[in-house]
Structure 1
């Protein structure tokens, strides 16, 4: 089968040593239906956002940057419905392997899947923290959006160019992200800083799970262990 012939090639271009075949078994009909529904709820017009994940991320994050608690709940409801819609196909489809197999670049594939992984944190363990600190956190997103974007892009681009530096770049990314929330929410805003650190860490883990970057609740200021 073509999937068997493609696995070694995908493993090479994705930099993975144990690529699972699951990403090549995605039911595209189910995925397109669910992605279309997600796009409609969030007013996203691009039917194939894995080719432009940067703009897709901007559209998603704008909801909770600009609309506060209602925007956050809207995003989380949309992503929960997407996951329910996908059912058992979620693991098969939401992988870098799948999106590379449908012609996305590895860089774009990881960017796209990374956002979905971040939503698991945002709408799960991180939701209550965000809602309790919504004032300063939404303000940080709005006022520092360009800085936060650059924190992330510096990591994504530099680690893509030199994977050997991925973990070093990851720590810079976590610190950079956490610092923006510390500066805007206050030095004792432990919850907000932890949320920012974890939000970025999940993105790191999507492509480089071997990196030991971790987040802890700091006593004062940011601590990246």
Structure 2
């Protein structure tokens, strides 16, 4: 795959929409690196932060007020050390995602990657969503989560993702203007969604500056 064929695809997704699976199948089809849990590993390796701490940072945003308060509380130091832990996690994440994109074609799931790579000509940003009944069905059947638990986990997870995204980007998570393509996964099979995204990257025109 030459430089002219470089494809970077970010996948943002609602809980239970199948976004992670779509991203994995997409990377396999394009034969490019896939970053999901691997992204956490790399952020931890490059930043020196604990993988568990980075992983848990997003879910702390379930309470937007407390997350904003904690994120605003830096130290009396100057420079990067003055930032709160939440802010330092995000900056580490930002830097790693930019490096990954510089290296070549890839598929990246979550972690505000659409925002981090905004304006990059070769990047396509996909948002996967679905109706609540379809997401709960997937969570029960594929993740083995009881229905009542799945409903609560879905709402908590999506709330945390939305608050985290809003705090660090100043934009609204899931809003169509932030993405190249939004797809309701409740009406299309996974493989067809993957084919649709691949086709989109082939026919997409790039705006002229």
TM-score range, shorter chain: under 0.3
**Which structure is higher in helix share?**
1
The answer to which structure, 1 or 2, has the higher relative contact order (CA under 8 A, 6+ apart) is 2
- What TM-score do you get using the length of structure 2 for normalisation? 0.25
- What TM-score do you get using the length of structure 1 for normalisation? 0.24
